[in-house]
Amino acid sequence: RRRRAARCGAGGGGGGSPGPSPLTGSPPQALVDDTEDVSLDFGSEEELALRKAKIRHPLATFFHLFFRVSAIITYLFCDWFSNSFVACFVTILLLLSFDFWSVKNVTGRLLVGLRWWNQIDEDGKSHWVFEAKRVPTIAASTEAEARIFWLGLIICPVIWTMFFFSTLFSLKLKWLALVIAGISLQTANLYGYIHCKVGGQKSISRLTSRFFVTADVPKSKYRVGPSATAHETYQPASRCWFCSFWVLVPKITPGRAILVFQ
Amino acid sequence: MRDLKAVGKKFVHVMYPKKSSALLRDWDLWGPLVLCVSLALMLQGGSADSKDDGGPQFAEVFVIIWFGAVVITLNSKLLGGTISFFQSLCVLGYCVLPLTVAMLVCRLVLLAGSGTVSFIIRLIVVVAMFGWSTLASTAFLADSQPPNRKALVVYPIFLFYFVISWMILTFTPQ
């Protein structure tokens, strides 16, 4: 029955594409003899298109840049839009807040596979956790996306710092509160992601032995949880100071995508 | 959405303050932001000598609330408190909710007239809400301090909400 299941599964999943599975390079029957699991190849057109596309998450990329750039544009041209200081202030503040939320929770995870959050455990100690994605997935990000992400992340705080100095020296002090808020929100994201990235490269060798250690720590609710794909695994990018244990997302072991259709 | 529900739950917690660690554990600053912006919006355009469109007062309220909250947090951390920086900011920000309600009520009362009676009503409402805010935030924050330091922590919180209540009470529309 397993053999029949393998053939049906492979045939159905392959969408009629004949020949050996691209994952293993050998015919599907050979797999079934060795293991109990059925390795499926999608091989479908959507996946090939996904692999070839330069930007795999168009919406995330768009929103990553949209809120930041529109906050800057609104700040520069607010006199054209409206006479009211308050309306401009509130609009820019809302744009900055949405940008902070979307970059921290959505676009960082999708575009570069990094995430960071703060977590407080039962005895009241606060930990900052920084994680970087270990295994590149099929829908992982491309170079173009990563470049857009980092450019957007770095250039905007620099622009807000320039606004800070221009506001200070032109003595338009009522905007100072807004500029400081903008700088702090954008720099927070920048710092968080740089910490994830830099930490990941330093501590890779220490982590391989601990890969299977899982700690049952309830994750902060203010992060969007890991998506349910089987391929995602995260490694902790750094051991934060207050951490006494690793936080790892327990997931399916890498190397074999195991999906059973039936 | 999950974040919105968390914010809503915290608002409810503030209105019925019982010592629970749920408010402290999952901090977020959305609620304080919304409250700060709405309070600043309601407080703007209030005093007689503002010639422009309420710009400085809006930013003033903003700065007072956030800077005041940061200073109180630093104070409580220097006194040896166990609560984390953002948790304390979160609690202080959420406990501005009763004062925002008081501001709303004051604005409505002022629509009806600005005589002595309305002043007395506003005074009672503001004092009640000020007491509620202070008690709510003290219920959450003072427990993280050693017992002989509680007054040192409560005093700045008292002052902070007093200043906000003063701004609310002395608000006169143009």
Q: B26-35, B39-48, B135-144: which has the minimum mean pLDDT?
A: B39-48
Compute the average pLDDT of residues B132-149. 81
Spans of all domains in chain B? 55-173
> Which residues are paired to A131 by β-bridges?
A115, A236
pTM: 0.69
For A120, the closest of B6, B25, B37 (CB atoms) is: B25
Distance CA A165, CA B141 (A): 37
Strands (E), B57-131: none
Contact between A174 and B59 using a beta-carbon 8 Å cutoff: yes
| Residue that has been written with the tokens 């422009």 in this structure | B52
Q: A233-242, B24-33, B48-57: which has the minimum mean pLDDT?
A: A233-242
Distance CA B108, CA B168 (A): 13
For A177, the closest of B24, B52, B59 (CB atoms) is: B59
Torsion A19-A21-A26-A30 (CA) sign = negative
**Minimal Cα distance from B29: which residue of A?**
A97
Q: Is B20 helix (H, G, I), strand (E, B) or coil?
A: coil
Closest CA to A220 of A104, A129, A110, A100: A129
Given a cut of 70, the residues of chain A with pLDDT beneath it are: 1-53, 135-141, 200-262
Distance CA A65, CA A72 (A): 11
Does the beta carbon of B62 lie under 8 angstroms from any beta carbon of chain A? yes
For A93, the closest of B37, B56, B82 (CB atoms) is: B37
* Contact call for residues A20 and A49 (beta carbons, < 8 A): no
Distance CA B97, CA B124 (A): 17
Report pLDDT for A68.
92
Distance CA B167, CA A132 (A): 47
Q: Which residues of A touch B44 (CB under 8 A)?
A: 86
Q: Is B58 exposed, middle or buried (0-12, 13-18, 19+ CB in 10 A)?
A: buried
Contact between A90 and B41 using a beta-carbon 8 Å cutoff: yes
Compute the average pLDDT of residues B126-155. 84
Report pLDDT for B21.
60
Distance CA B8, CA B51 (A): 38
Does the beta carbon of B83 lie under 8 angstroms from any beta carbon of chain A? yes
ipTM: 0.81
Closest CA to A90 of A177, A31, A25, A190: A177
DSSP string, chain A: -HHHHHHHHHHHHHTT--SS-TTTSS-HHHHHHH-SS-------HHHHHHHH-S-S-HHHHHHHHHHHHHHHHHHHTHHHH-S-HHHHHHHHHHHHHHHHHHIIIIIIIIII-EEEEEEE-TTS-EEEEEEEE-S--TT---HHHHHHHHHHHHHHHHHHHHHHHHHHHTT-GGGHHHHHHHHHHHHHHHHHHHHHHHHHHHSHHHHGGGTT-----PPPTTSPPPP--TT--EEEEE--TT-SS------PPTT-------
* Contact call for residues A64 and A111 (beta carbons, < 8 A): yes
Compute the average pLDDT of residues B81-94. 86
Please enumerate in sequence order all residues whose Cβ is within 8 A of that of A243, keeping only pairs 6 or more positions apart, or say none: A127, A129
Q: Give chain B's length.
A: 174
> How many CA atoms, within 13 angstroms, populate the side-chain half-sphere of residue B157?
28
Report pLDDT for A126.
78
Does the beta carbon of B82 lie under 8 angstroms from any beta carbon of chain A? yes
Residue % of chain B over a pLDDT of 70? 88
Does the beta carbon of B144 lie under 8 angstroms from any beta carbon of chain A? yes
Strands lying side by side in the sheet with A234-238: A114-120, A126-133, A234-238
How many CB pairs below 8 Å do chains A and B form together? 57
Average pLDDT, chain B: 83
Closest CA to A32 of A77, A1, A53, A62: A1
Report pLDDT for B145.
73
Report pLDDT for B120.
92
B90 vs A34, higher pLDDT: B90
Angle (CA) B76-B79-B81 rounded to 5° is: 60
* Contact call for residues B69 and B92 (beta carbons, < 8 A): yes
* Contact call for residues B171 and B106 (beta carbons, < 8 A): yes
Distance CA A20, CA A26 (A): 5
